[in-house]
Amino acid sequence: MESPEAPAWTLTSLQQLISDKIEEGLKLDYKSAKFLGRGENQKDAITTAVSAFANSAGGTVIFGVSEFSEREKRHLPEKIDPIDGLEFSREWLDQILGQISPRIEGLKIEPVRVGPEEKHVCYVVEIPQSHTAHQARDCKYYRRANFESVPMVDYEIRDIMSRRKHPKLEFTVRLEHTNRTRILARIWNKGAVLARHYEVKVLIPVIIGRANLYPENPLQQTKDGFQFWRVSLRGRIDQPLFPGSDSIPDFEIKHTPRQWDPPIPSTADYLICNLFADEMPCIERKIPVNEALAGWT
């Protein structure tokens, strides 16, 4: 028989946040016991605080930890401020958060017994980043900004709601420069939408170190006043990128040692990389050659 998993949050871990002076911010918020209440404005405030994290990058709200009242320390946790779990139960809090529209998938509420009485608890609410926009109980949309929840404007709401419409990919690049020059791109899907078509188009300097590069079927392009070779690192059509998966396409380029008698032409010391995928907006990065030679960047 498997032993039950240890709780992620304990009185000790909450006290550690206080002793370490962990400041609230974009992914962490502290709320005192009095923040919970049965008034309509308090219920609105609870859904505002939690929905703002879902509309941003996700995060954690800890109900039952108070902050310092002094202005210079007001975002630091001061002490455990126990909630009466009989008056405000986990089920009650879940019902309030269920009034966020649409309901936040994957949200977790973890009660932590903090004493001195058995009924005294803190509630740790862990909120994942969502793939759509969530409306608070007051029919408004909020996002997390520094230490507070702020109303969202129209384009921000539209941007969040498009998270489900197109893939969300990221990439890193690496260069191997031995008897041949090999460029690799690791592309991974960090969103919730399948990517069927994706590629990284790379502009690579015509000279790297002491070598002239000679790709097959060369296509040269001028950018920023420098000459580059243009190559594509493309995913296979029969290998789409599922959410959470990755792919590492590569491209090899022949090169020859450069003769140092003629003057060396000015050449870029960086790669220009553009990631394209289905309907996702293009991502462009300039990556220094020396960093790409040192490893993934």
- Within this chain, do residues 98 and 186 fall inside the same structural domain, yes or no? no
Q: CA–CA separation, 213 vs 197, rounded Å?
A: 28
Residue 2 inside a domain? The answer is no
State how far the Cα of 253 lies from the Cα of 3, in Å rounded to an integer: 54
Distance CA 103, CA 148 (A): 21
Structure tokens at 119: 């009924």
> Which amino acid makes up residue 249?
P
Q: Report pLDDT digits (tens) over 15-31.
A: 999 999 999 999 999 99
pLDDT of residue 3: 45
Distance CA 187, CA 198 (A): 9
- Which residue type sits at 178? T
Residue of 44, 51, 22, 50 lying closest to 124 (CA atoms):
50
> Are 219 and 278 found together in one domain?
yes
Do 216 and 282 belong together in one domain? yes
The domain of 48 spans: 11-164
What pLDDT shows up at residue 168?
85
Does 4 map to a domain? no
Of 98, 131, 164, the last residue of a domain is 164
Do 178 and 106 lie in one domain? The reply is no
Query: Both 213 and 278 in a single domain?
Result: yes
Of the residues 123, 144, 164, the one at which a domain ends: 164
**Which of 121, 144, 164 is the C-terminal boundary of a domain?**
164
Within this chain, do residues 114 and 238 fall inside the same structural domain, yes or no? no
Query: What count of other Cβ atoms lies within 10 Å of the Cβ of residue 237?
Result: 8
Q: Which amino acid belongs to residue 94?
A: D
Q: What is the pTM of this model?
A: 0.60
- Cα-flanking dihedrals φ and ψ of residue 210, to 5°? -110, 30
- At 127-172, the pLDDT tens digits run 998 888 999 999 999 999 988 899 999 988 988 887 667 788 999 9
Amino acid letter for position 95: Q
123 and 217 inside one domain: no
